[in-house]
Amino acid sequence: MSEEEAYEFVKGTLEEEGIVPFHDDELETVKSIENCINCGLCINHCPVVASVGLDRFSGPRSIAVQLTRSPPEYWATADTIYLCTGCGTCREVCPKNVDIPEIVNIVRARIFKTRRDLVPKGLFGVHETLTDYRTAFEPWDDVEEKEASRDMRIERLGLKFVPDRIKDEADVLFYPGCQAEERAQEVREAGKMILEHFGINYTLLEEFNCCGLPARLMGDDETARSLAADLRRKVKALGVSQVVTTCAGCTSSLNDIARRDEWGVPVYHMVEYLVHEVGLDGVRSALKARSDGVLKVTVHDPCHLIRHTSRQTMQDALALLDAVPGVEIVPSGVSDSCCGGGGLVAYHAKDVASAVTQENVGGITHTEAERVVTPCPLCTAQIEASLFRDGSSIEVDDLSVFIAQRLVME
Amino acid sequence: MELETDVLVIGGGMAGLAAACSAADAGASVIVVRKGHGATADSSGAIDIAGYLPGGNTPFQSGREGLRAITGLFPYHPYSVLGQESTETGSQFEKALERVEHSVNMLKKWLSGTPAETIGSLERNISAVTVLGTSKPTSLLQKTMLPPDWDDDSILLFEGFAGNPDFNAVLAAKTFMAERARVGEPPKKIADSELTLSPFGKPYNVSPVEIARHLDHPGGTAFLADSLSKDVERTGATHIALPPILGLKTPAENRRILEDRLDVQVFELLSFPPSVPGLRLLRSLDNTLAGLDVRILEAHEAMNYEQSGNRIVRVQCKTHHRSLDILPDSVILASGKFIGGGITGSENGLSERLFGLPVVSEDWTSTDGIRPQRLTRPISINSRGHALFACGVAVDMHLRPLDGSGNTFAENLFSAGSVLAGYNYPVEKSGLGVALATGVFAGTNAAHALQEE
């Protein structure tokens, strides 16, 4: 028996016992558990624990120590591990750098593989869409209807239509993300407007596919890796030197896979791209106030930007907003609190997701802000819906849309 | 990206925040980089200055007495370093006392009006009560944690919460009663009880922070008072000891509601880490810094540095996917010990993580190549403690770390807190006190170094 055959044989036995070997790229996360001193500091900061209590969601520490169980027993955590919104607060406060959000993904992947019956039913819809269409949202049946919806959104928000640009030899790939492709189309349009406005040589993907984040979050590791591989192939074929996205989730996910799969191409969120590549002075001179008077704005920091990419991204976002004439930024005190929209929790435990957003709603409605601005279409949708349910008249804008609305048009 | 600043503080626990506050107070622009929440957030929230002499079993009566003994016996203890200016006059005590007293006053000022408002002094150690029913000497406590005065007629009630695994009222009452009887001091009547308070509807798996948040909600504390009233009636309690759960935002107000409604005196016990008071302390200091225009960069880990001549000119920090270079005039290393991550151990010995500074043991010999296990004693709990916890970097009289040959590592690098060698905080009960006093001194020195340029 060759070494290769022996390995396959052992893998076969493991499968019978419900054990899924770790990937090489997961080992660093797995090893980080060794550092856990079981202090429980993370529990005091977890927004899900704060919203629904430790009895419903056993908290980050219990998740961290789950991995020390014998492998087939992961299924025992299924009732709590899918309630993690993946905000990353625990990793941020952890004195020992235990990578708890990634442990969640690793455990979910094992449950998905060996005990699919325990995966929340609400996730199978997304799973089907992802495997059938390679995006997280079901594409529109009728292209004309999709365009009509887009035009309506453009008109309502006062944006300008820019035709799609798919070309060879572009410098930048603009990757709007599933939500902006199929649902929040205004964000995709705003992104195009901005890049066009600053004369960037960009392109869209000819055939869009999801970065794999939703698949990874539900535990479907195979689909996640196959989507990531597709995307890598497309980026490499285009030969672009930078990737820009308007979605917070895509920013962190693309950065993760670009590092893991060695893309050799930097991935920026639009706010970073505008501040560091276009330059704040250039952006400032291209912006005008949208109406007379001062608009009081408060921001929300998407977890996927501040905790899964870098806290600096929100410094950039604030610098951008500061450059917009007629805008006053009001702090809410809860800007970095998870909106509850992450981790696919809203797909199967809406009550948990809504409970988490209450913290944001409370903080935002206590300010004098007339508008919430956030550089993430998912946070926008989640906070907008919660404010609406709360009876608040405060509107929520995606930051890219907010900027595009204020570009000086010839 | 690059950022310029007068003073860069590496570490955001007590030492780092105290250093940042005092440097900002002195007019410097300050940036704090913090990787996570370290030992201060993870503490009981009590600020110990000096509780015991290593090897001793009798607690010091006061912080002042402790400082006198420590500076007299250990000339390189961080407290002694604070007093080194007056070496010509023979005693390090006077100057050390002055500096520690100054930093205690500063801390009280910074925490005044915050949820972690602090009480106590160097003149008398407080005998704080823990959730185990034991007592420990400490110098400063948050106001809601101060044990009230009691007499022979007092009845103390230890009240637990159903489903909260961090506190067993029966055990605490038993232990405390035995100790009181041994020393022959009041209170003589001690009771225990348990009530059910379920912020999320179920009386199990209730974490202290859940109860604390619940009490901050409107009506939360009033409801607790109603639940407590039956136990007060039944036991005739005049004093109530609660685990530290009196709220994250308005603990003083919550205590007042309880005391007014029940006509008793209420105080919080010291608990295991991570505690609600520890969180209150860290958050309050963070807010004070924000008021002083100090920037705290959360989740930034200092990874590397550049030196030019005898100065640190650049510190490279990383976040999850990005990096940031900070160009400081002065740097304060307050990265903590084993929990904070400033010092790590491996089979090759201990090392300081960022600058690679030599780490020395309690007898000031190098720990290079020594397995950390060799620095522990066979009996885990003993009054002399373990040398491992006294390991750290050696410093000059300005708290500047020394290199392997005993020279100043860099003229603009200062250090504070548990990264320092020469004090065994678990047995001395001096952890946050040394962090505070060295933090304030390092911050002042760093700001002072700027003016000299």
Best CATH choice for the domain A280-405 from the list 2.40.160, 3.40.50, 3.90.25, 3.30.200? 3.40.50
Residues in chain B: 453
pLDDT of residue B83: 92
A319 in contact with B, Cβ within 8 Å: no
Instruction: Give B85's pLDDT tier (boundaries 50, 70, 90).
Output: confident
Flag whether B275 is in a domain.
Answer: no
DSSP A132: H
Q: Evaluate whether A19 touches A72 at the Cβ level (below 8 Å).
A: yes
The range of the structural domain enclosing residue B417 comes to 2-112+280-452
Instruction: Give A397's pLDDT tier (boundaries 50, 70, 90).
Output: very high
Residues B154 and B190 in one domain: yes
Chain A to chain B, count of Cβ pairs less than 8 Å apart?
Answer: 101
Integer Cα distance of A129 and A139 in angstroms: 9
Flag whether B25 is in a domain.
Answer: yes
Which residue in the set A39, A44, A55 is minimally distant from B202, CB to CB?
A55
Residues B252 and B395 in one domain: no
pLDDT of residue B90: 63
Q: Residues A293-342: pLDDT tens digits?
A: 899 999 999 999 999 999 999 999 999 999 999 999 999 999 999 999 99
Residues B84 and B139 in one domain: no
Q: Which residues of B touch A43 (CB under 8 A)?
A: 207, 209, 274
| Number of domains into which chain B is organized | 2
Mutate to test the interface with B, among A54, A79, A301 (most CBs of B within 10 A): A54
pLDDT of residue B266: 98
pLDDT, average across residues B72-98: 85
pLDDT of residue B157: 98
pLDDT of residue A160: 94
pLDDT, average across residues A185-213: 97
Chain centroid to CA A57? 22
Determine phi and psi for B366, rounding to 5 degrees: -65, 145
Residues B347 and B199 in one domain: no
Residues B185 and B161 in one domain: yes
pLDDT, average across residues A195-223: 97
pLDDT of residue B89: 57
pLDDT at B371 over 60: yes
Residues B31 and B172 in one domain: no
Flag whether B430 is in a domain.
Answer: yes
Kindly indicate whether the domain formed by A141-274 is annotated with CATH number 3.40.50.1400.
no
Q: Which residues of B touch A45 (CB under 8 A)?
A: 37
Q: Of the ranges A29-33, B21-25, B98-102, which one carries the lowest mean pLDDT score?
A: A29-33
Counting DSSP H helices and E strands in chain A, the numbers are 23, 8
Report how far apart, in Å, the C-alpha atoms of A124 and of each of A120, A218, A351, B184 are.
8, 9, 19, 68
In sequence order, the 6+-apart residues with CB closer than 8 A to the CB of B217 are none
CATH code at B165? 3.40.50
The DSSP element (H or E) to which B10 belongs, if any, is strand B2-10
pLDDT at A70 over 80: no
Chain B residues 284-323 with CB within 8 Å of chain A: 297-300, 319-322
B341 in contact with A, Cβ within 8 Å: yes
Flag whether B264 is in a domain.
Answer: yes
pLDDT at A391 over 70: yes
Q: Residues of chain A with pLDDT > 70: what percent?
A: 99
Q: What is the mean pLDDT of chain A?
A: 94
Contact A97 B42 (CB under 8 A): no
Q: Residues of chain B with pLDDT > 90: what percent?
A: 91
Query: Of all residues in chain B, what percent are helix, strand and coil, respectively (each to 5)?
Result: 35, 25, 40
Residues B235 and B335 in one domain: no
In sequence order, the 6+-apart residues with CB closer than 8 A to the CB of B113 are none
Q: In Å, how far is B236's CA from the nearest CA of chain A?
A: 33
pLDDT at B88 over 70: no
Contact B319 A312 (CB under 8 A): yes
pLDDT of residue A75: 83
pLDDT at A166 over 60: yes
Residues B265 and B284 in one domain: no
Flag whether B121 is in a domain.
Answer: no
Q: Which residues of B touch A94 (CB under 8 A)?
A: 36-37
CATH code at B366? 3.50.50.60
pLDDT at B15 over 70: yes
Q: Which residues of B touch A358 (CB under 8 A)?
A: none
CATH topology match: A141-274 vs A280-405: yes
Task: Identify the sign of the CA torsion A50, A53, A56, A61.
Answer: positive
pLDDT of residue A410: 67
Q: Which residues of A touch B207 (CB under 8 A)?
A: 43-44, 49, 54, 59
Q: How do strand B30-34 and strand B295-298 relate by DSSP bridges?
A: parallel
Q: Which residues of A touch B163 (CB under 8 A)?
A: 55
pLDDT at B198 over 90: no
Residues B306 and B433 in one domain: yes
CATH T-level topology, domain A3-119: Fumarate Reductase Iron-sulfur Protein; Chain B, domain 2 (1.10.1060)
Q: CA of B1: which chain A residue's CA is closest?
A: A276
Q: Residues B137-196: pLDDT tens digits?
A: 999 999 999 999 999 999 999 999 999 999 999 999 999 999 999 999 999 999 999 999
Q: In Å, how far is B202's CA from the nearest CA of chain A?
A: 8
pLDDT, average across residues B57-62: 94
Residues B317 and B356 in one domain: yes
Q: CA of B39: which chain A residue's CA is closest?
A: A95
Residues B338 and B402 in one domain: yes
Contact B321 A307 (CB under 8 A): no
Q: Residues A225-256: pLDDT tens digits?
A: 999 999 999 999 999 999 999 999 999 999 99
Integer Cα distance of A169 and A201 in angstroms: 8
Which residue in the set B38, B207, B300 is minimally distant from A54, CB to CB?
B207
In 3D, which of B94, B62, B61 has the Cα closest to residue B79? B94
In 3D, which of A206, A212, A213 has the Cα closest to residue A235? A206
Q: Residues B205-226: pLDDT tens digits?
A: 899 999 999 999 999 999 999 9
Q: Of the ranges A57-66, B263-272, B436-445, which one carries the lowest mean pLDDT score?
A: A57-66
Q: What is the mean pLDDT of chain B?
A: 95
Q: Evaluate whether B288 touches B14 at the Cβ level (below 8 Å).
A: no
Residue identified by tokens 């055939």 is: A207
CA angle, A390 then A307 then A134, to 5° = 80
Contact A312 B341 (CB under 8 A): no
In sequence order, the 6+-apart residues with CB closer than 8 A to the CB of A264 are none
A386 in contact with B, Cβ within 8 Å: no
pLDDT of residue A377: 94
A259 in contact with B, Cβ within 8 Å: yes
Determine phi and psi for A145, rounding to 5 degrees: -65, -40
B273 in contact with A, Cβ within 8 Å: yes
Segments in B137-200 forming alpha helices (H): 169-183
The DSSP element (H or E) to which A397 belongs, if any, is strand A395-398
Q: In Å, how far is B45's CA from the nearest CA of chain A?
A: 14
pLDDT of residue A193: 97
pLDDT of residue A17: 86
Domain positions in chain A: 3-119, 141-274, 280-405
Integer Cα distance of A186 and A163 in angstroms: 13
Residues B431 and B297 in one domain: yes
Flag whether B124 is in a domain.
Answer: no
Given B249, B269, B289, which residue is the final one in a domain? B269
Given B234, B269, B304, which residue is the final one in a domain? B269
In sequence order, the 6+-apart residues with CB closer than 8 A to the CB of A182 are A135, A136, A137, A138, A139, A140, A146
